[in-house]
């Protein structure tokens, strides 16, 4: 198995990190990553990071919103942005010859946005509609409801979009201050994957940042962030069960518990545990609840790791009359995994599936860019593909069973959304 192509890391003199992975390709994906997200907010600023993300496309001193959109379109690639709990990213994929134009555009919107009053008011309405869309999409909404219950009043429990009352009250000054406070060089990283020459990209960003020189530094680490931005770890709370009554056709259930942080040494066993439990179509939950009994169309488990914490969640969309049975079957499969472990062929299939997912992602420049960025943010270096696959190969059946015993020691928390009452839904199996 060949190692990753050339990966290089540099730091500009003002602290902005530049990371590249050079591959033979006709395209290049560039992402500007900022280490700020919903967990860096409080109750009166919840949603501010996401609001800033929207505003960076709404005009700079050199470009208005229409010009920004037009330039992205003229380059003929794809452009987007997202805000998460701990990061915000602005990225685009273009043909190689458009790289200088892309760097000029990305640097302008990230560094020089105006936050005009009129644009803020316009975008406020857009974000309120986005929040309403989530409210009308129960299989999205339930994740926000679950996060609030499992994380309590810690910022990780806040929705990325923010609550409508806070969004309605955010002033242009508050949004601008959030940008100025968090979009600082030590929290910004430029990451590129594709046909890109590292020093050339560094020169382009040096020019965009007006005169900084390039200093090579192969050891950028997450711990280099200023002390003022160190985040408070969340507490682990007792399991909670809550029903949100709503007139829906389905009952949407989300069960879960605390998991591992992004950098946990045992993360590969954790990923394989999730795959066996509910991570694909051959998983135990999918086969038992959907294929064998027909209780759900959608059933899956997922991992949501953060820098210092994480969760394992299980989603089910079921007939309200079948909600209790679906929960009992889920608990039964978890108990069976803890007590009996897994079969050798299950581990092999889960490992092959995970390996294939990783390898297929390598064919996509956006995926490669994101993987490279997350590795540098979380581990301070690029993780060679050979190393990742070797660590995955070392996981044993005993490792997965021990992980199941560790993760599922405490009762599951549960949130239900739909036409449910105490007579239709019984949480008691979660406590067994």
| Positions marked active-site | 53
Residue 266 burial class via C-beta count within 10 angstroms: exposed 0-12, middle 13-18, buried 19 and up = middle
Q: CA 272, CA 349: separation in Å to the nearest integer? A: 10
CA neighbor of 377 nearest in space, from 192, 202, 191, 232: 191
Find out whether 20 and 7 touch, Cβ atoms under 8 Å. yes
State the greatest distance between any 2 C-alpha atoms of the chain, in Å, as a whole number: 68
CA neighbor of 321 nearest in space, from 342, 339, 296, 343: 296
Could you tell me the two tokens for 209?
């940042």
Q: CA 229, CA 37: separation in Å to the nearest integer? A: 12
User: Which residue in this structure is represented by tokens 């990325």?
Assistant: 160
Q: CA 208, CA 92: separation in Å to the nearest integer? A: 17
Specify the DSSP class assigned to residue 275. Answer: I
Q: How far from each other are the two terminal CA atoms of the chain, in whole angstroms?
A: 45
């Amino acid at each position: 198995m060949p190692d990753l192509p050339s990966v290089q890391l540099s730091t500009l003199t003002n602290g902005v990190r530049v990371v590249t992975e050079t591959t033979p390709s006709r395209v290049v994906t560039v992402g500007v990553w900022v280490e700020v997200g919903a967990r860096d907010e409080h109750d009166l600023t919840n949603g501010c990071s996401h609001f800033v993300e929207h505003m960076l496309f709404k005009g700079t001193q050199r470009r208005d919103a229409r010009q920004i959109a037009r330039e992205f379109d003229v380059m003929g690639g794809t452009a987007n942005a997202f805000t998460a709990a701990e990061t915000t990213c602005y990225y685009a994929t273009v043909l190689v010859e458009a790289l200088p134009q892309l760097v000029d555009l990305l640097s302008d919107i990230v560094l020089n946005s105006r936050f005009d009053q009129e644009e803020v008011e316009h975008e406020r309405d857009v974000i309120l509609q986005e929040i309403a869309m989530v409210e009308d999409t129960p299989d999205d909404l339930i994740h926000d409801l679950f996060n609030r219950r499992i994380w309590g009043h810690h910022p990780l429990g806040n929705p990325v979009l923010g609550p409508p009352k806070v969004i309605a009250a955010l002033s242009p000054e508050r949004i601008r201050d959030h940008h100025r406070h968090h979009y600082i060089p030590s929290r910004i990283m430029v990451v590129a994957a594709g046909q890109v020459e590292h020093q050339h990209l560094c020169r382009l960003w040096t020019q965009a940042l007006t005169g900084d020189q390039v200093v090579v530094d192969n050891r950028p680490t997450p711990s280099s962030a200023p002390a003022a931005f160190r985040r408070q770890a969340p507490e682990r709370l007792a399991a909670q069960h809550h029903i949100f009554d709503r007139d829906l056709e389905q009952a949407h259930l989300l069960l879960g518990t605390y998991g591992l942080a992004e950098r946990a040494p045992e993360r590969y066993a954790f990923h394989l545990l999730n795959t066996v439990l509910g991570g694909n179509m051959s998983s135990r939950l999918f086969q038992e609840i959907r294929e064998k009994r027909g209780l759900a169309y959608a059933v899956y488990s997922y991992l949501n790791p953060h820098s210092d914490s994480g969760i394992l969640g299980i989603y089910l969309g079921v007939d309200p009359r079948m909600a209790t049975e679906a929960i009992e079957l889920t608990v039964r499969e978890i108990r069976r995994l803890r007590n009996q472990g897994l079969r050798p062929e299950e581990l092999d299939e889960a490992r092959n599936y995970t390996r294939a997912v990783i390898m297929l992602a390598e064919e996509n420049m956006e995926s490669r860019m994101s993987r490279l960025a997350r590795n540098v943010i979380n581990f301070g270096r690029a993780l060679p593909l050979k190393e990742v696959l070797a660590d995955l190969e070392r996981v044993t059946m005993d490792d997965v069973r021990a992980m199941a015993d560790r993760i599922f020691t405490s009762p599951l928390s549960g949130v239900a959304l739909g036409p449910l009452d105490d007579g239709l839904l019984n949480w008691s199996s979660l406590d067994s």
